[in-house]
Amino acid sequence: MPVTHRHPGTVLTDHVFPVPLDHAAPDGEQIEVYARELVAAGREREDLPWLVYLQGGPGGRSPRPVGPDWWAPALRHYRVLLLDQRGTGRSTPANRQSLPLRGTPREQADYLALFRADSIVKDAEVVRKRLLGAGVPWSVIGQSFGGFCTTTYLSFAPEGVREAFVTGGLPGLRTGAEDIYRKSYPRVASKNAAFYDRYPGDVGTVREIAEHLAEHEATLPDGSPLTVERFQWLGLMLGMGSGPDLLHYLLEDAWTPGRAGRELSDTFLEGVRPHVSLATNPLFALLHEASYGQRSVSKEGTRWAAQRVRDEFPVFDARRALDEGRQVYFTGEMIYPWQFETDPALVPLHETAHLLAERGDWPDLYDPARLAANEVPVHAVVYYDDMYVDRDDSMATAQAVRGTRAWVTSEWEHDGLRVGQGRVLERLIGMARGEF
């Protein structure tokens, strides 16, 4: 029996759906997918169209409502469903605690191979048919990786989609993992340069921290090591609207006097910890590169593409930067093998991660021919200076998917949907209704 809660102005209902672990074997093992329904108070009994939200990631759970948020404009038109994609949130979990129950690392890797966008879309179709009926399509909104999932949806189950909204998530249809990183490292370097232009005093602070970490062992409050490379991973923040400012405020608490002299403060180390641990979304580490795997692009595994391509960009070599007196650059949305040696949430999964990295012949996630004949209206925002999703890839896909209207803006960064106070979604809904 669904459980219902009331927030000011909103009624929330919990749903849990059994879905096949492997949709190719629908009568086999079942897992659970959780979703939270939102509807404006007083409209619970109205026959409203549905809008399902596909979260960014991979590995991110759907938002937890605590008040008005980006979905406020949607509640004027839709009944919203916030879906916890398989393995996340309240859906059947996939983490260092649950995955060993699957058996060997090889068995864990085989299990996780069923957690990509193609399976997420098939889960969504099961949910749609149970909530709305097989013949009733719904609207879809995908943020970042959720936009990748939306493009997969249009490739393989467009009959389930009435209209699609994409925010910062039009993927390259035939872009492999190595190409992704060859494009993203320069964007991350640009974000670093902009950060240091805004906060020139942080050039010295970052160098001092990196130098300290290169010469001394440092430990985060969870007991895990803070290495130079792990410190550099704070650059993941630089692509969000307030990310550079938050990074600056984190750095300004770096040092404190101690018995042995100047040392990294507990405040700083505790502030760093949640930014460099993937305890809350381990699937991001396990499946990030796999989310780019397609046999039509490459039948080889992704083989730690971010690590291999990084060698082509020596500007990110922190130790070399220290030796040469240069700025130390942070990295971005890249997953590295060393994370499975330093992050307590990932260390038990290191062998599984290596097997996934070597896994080849991933099924295709997009069907360019079907997308070229697409009949579903698509309304997308492309962030001009997006650090995480390549603008040129997004625009090429907007051209390749029939019926796509792209709004390109530099007003927001990648998190515009979340921080734009509803204006991004309001604009997209207006585009769908012919107001723009």
Catalytic residue positions, numbered: 144, 361, 414
CA separation for the pair 40, 63 (Å, rounded): 17
Contact 414, 403 (CB under 8 A): no
Cα–chain-centroid distance for residue 220? Answer: 24
* Matching residue, tokens 């490459």: 298
**Whose CA is closest to 331, among 266, 386, 276, 294?**
276
Cα–chain-centroid distance for residue 268? Answer: 25
